A and B are shown apart, each in its own frame.
Chain A
Amino acid sequence: MDEAMDNVMDVQGLTLRFGGVTALQDVSIRVQADELVALIGPNGAGKSSFLNVLSGFYRPQQGSIHYKGRDIRGWPVHKVANAGVARTFQGTHLLGRMSVIDNILVGRYAHMKSSLAHAFAWYPFTYREEMRHREKAEEIIDFLEIEHIRHQPVGTLGYGMRKRVDLGRALAMEPQVLLLDEPMAGMNAEEKEDLARFILDVREFKKIPVVLVEHDMGVVMDVADRVVVLNFGRKIAEGTPDAVQRDPAVIAAYLGTKQ
């Protein structure tokens, strides 16, 4: 098979600087279709920066980002999102007063065609579109098993549930690739297990590649197909979870070395 076609995302030689600070230096990562890539590394290693570059929040100084064969480096955020790159955030950026279903419907925004004027006039096609989006949203609610909180304002939910809704909103975009930024930070063991299962389900059922930034090594080693390790903005290791765990450079980065 043609390798270029198989890569959903191909990042080459990425360098990102904030003034004198180099957040990422010459980082190259490939994400293949149907693959769960985990990005790990100590605090400040550049993991979130990397996701922010992929989703268009930061403009890198050097390097290329090919997404499905197109170079999306420098594209504005909404254009990247419309192209099918969805992400969740560290913490959650949901609309607290809106219900779960409305938050998920917000994720459908890129797919909505009716304008505000149409919505006021309530044309038949607006109505049909509303039905179609609602159906998609309900599908996601079913998939994530959150029927019971469908009409609850997101602000009243616990953290674990909010993260699930956050994932739901990302899924509502019908993404081609899903970027998850520390989805399990601050969760208890049970919530982590639940969410890990949904992330695996996303990959298995929706066949979407996932890039996961995560601190919890247990989760990463359980779910990832491939692990990329960053340290001080550089890629120091890449491979299967087992291989990465044994890599001396990784052990040194996490545990330190003898002087």
Chain B
Amino acid sequence: MEIWLLILLMALVTFGIRYALYAKANAITLPAKLEQALKFSAPCVLTAIWVPAVLMPQGELALTPQNPYLIGAVIALGIALWKRNILLTIVVSMSCFFVYKHLILV
């Protein structure tokens, strides 16, 4: 039962964040300073999630070629910087990741 309460609260919090500004959309102008700082929010939060996910997939720092997440991420970064194309980044890096993890490392 507590899990359902959690799901409900998570739903309220999540929807609240997304809808808060839309609710009063015609009456709201954000302070310019806040808008400038918030611009950094998505890239920073996303990076704070994916960097540990690829550098420490088992919870400990793994900076070795034995870590397929690290190899996959380096390839993803390379393609993203080079081509700036999300589809290409995802498809190529995922393919490389799976080939490396399941065929090369095994």
Query: Do the two shown chains form a genuine complex with each other?
Result: no
The interface of chain A, by Cβ under 8 A from chain B, is none
